[in-house]
Amino acid sequence: MSEGRYEHILLTGGCGFIGTNFVRFVLEHRPSVRITNLDALTYSGNAESLRDLEGEPRYRFVHGDIRDRALVDGLVREVDAVVHMAAESHVDRSIQDASPFVSTNVGGTQTLLDAVRSAASDGHEVRFCYVSTDEVYGQLPLDRPDLKFTERTPLNPSSPYAASKAAGDLLCGAYRHTFGLDIVITRCSNNFGAYQFPEKVIPLFVTNLMEGEPVPLYGDGRNVRDWLHVLDHCEAVLTVLERGEAGEVYNIGGNNERSNLELTREILRIMGKGEEMIRRVPDRLGHDLRYAIDATKIKRELGWEPTRSVWPGALEETVRWYQDHEDWWRRVKSGAYREYYQRQYGNVTGA
């Protein structure tokens, strides 16, 4: 990738799955760029994942909440770009309780946008990249493989999680239209790779199998997701940040649709386990049938396409990462990872 045009990025949610990968990706591929990572360390934020970067002069961690206006006002004025990834991100949790989703994904996004607006009115222009999701489009039918989400597909979110992300997405559009802020939006499909919290299907299934536990497959397993390697996502977000046109939305996908049953069988094969390890469990409420991304715009306009999402190799490599990092996921599953940041940064916030 070519060298970027921003010097200092404020990343929100950098201790989560995608954020951890994004920090590493930017430090590696942009040797002169600095990153400030603002993260509240909720249950899914793991400061241990970036522990090896302590002392790295181009990286700074700030323990704080995106809803803290005074804090984000100060931080936004130190940087020339914001990549906003902090969120409550798990659909099943949003079905249990939507409140933290609305509070962080809508209220937190609004707080950040207001900080960017305030800085701009004082002459400090900051580019704002909102990391949205394909789930804002709702679901596609299973029997129409010709249909995919384009950037013009109407937003029609199904879950409380997706609705809260869509609300943040719409706020970005409104702040662009009303205040002329420099905003770009990405909408990405399902990510897989290292450092994913083991409540999401791939790390949950892999780590269950490593523990000798069955894998809980929802419903009939026919639901389809488009799987993208997290580093492809990081590269795409950086591409949009640096070269996307203000006010535009860019879909990001892996051209890699699999049913959950296919995915499960592939994981079982890679790990040398049999189908008896599949436990059929009741379906997720409102379970979206299929997501599929048409990512021709980002390819045509910005020249980005995925290179790391090819199966089965990319999935095998991801399974191997969890096999090689048993200590990491065992500390996450047991909750022990929290001790580290409680010692380092004080009380835990969030759920």
Show which residues are catalytic: 134-135, 161
Strands 81-84 and 257-259: unpaired
Restricted to residues 118-157, the positions that interact with ligand NAD (CB under 6 A) are 131, 133
**Nearer of residues 277 and 298 to ligand NAD, judged by Cβ:** 298
Per-residue 3-state assignment (H helix, E strand, C coil) for 87-104? CCCCHHHHHHCCHHHHHH
Q: Residue 147 forms beta bridges with which residues?
A: none
The residues of the shown chain that bind ligand TDX, judged by CB under 6 A, are: 89-91, 133, 135, 190, 200-201, 204, 216-218, 223, 225, 260, 284
The end-to-end CA distance of the chain, in Å, is 37
**Nearer of residues 34 and 165 to ligand NAD, judged by Cβ:** 165
Residue with the shortest CB distance to ligand NAD:
16
Residue 39 in the binding site for ligand NAD (CB under 6 A): yes
Residue 86 in the binding site for ligand NAD (CB under 6 A): yes
Minimum CB–partner distance for residue 260 and ligand TDX (Å): 5
Interacting span for ligand NAD (CB under 6 A) from 80-88, 137-145, 262-270, 318-326: 80-88
Q: How far apart are CA 184 and CA 165, in angstroms?
A: 15
**Nearer of residues 44 and 309 to ligand NAD, judged by Cβ:** 44
Neighbour tally for 51: CB within 10 Å? 12
**Nearer of residues 104 and 239 to ligand NAD, judged by Cβ:** 104
Q: How far apart are CA 74 and CA 319, in angstroms?
A: 40
Q: How far apart are CA 178 and CA 168, in angstroms?
A: 15
Q: How far apart are CA 217 and CA 198, in angstroms?
A: 15
- How many residues touch ligand NAD (CB under 6 A)? 31
**Nearer of residues 23 and 277 to ligand NAD, judged by Cβ:** 23
Minimum CB–partner distance for residue 87 and ligand NAD (Å): 3
Q: How far apart are CA 23 and CA 52, in angstroms?
A: 12
Q: How far apart are CA 146 and CA 222, in angstroms?
A: 17
The option from ligand NAD, ligand TDX, none interacting with 140 (CB < 5 to 8 A, set by class) reads none
3-class DSSP state of 183: strand
Which residues would be at the binding site for ligand NAD (CB under 6 A)? 12-13, 15-19, 39-42, 44-45, 65-67, 85-89, 104, 108, 131, 133, 165, 188, 190-191, 197, 350
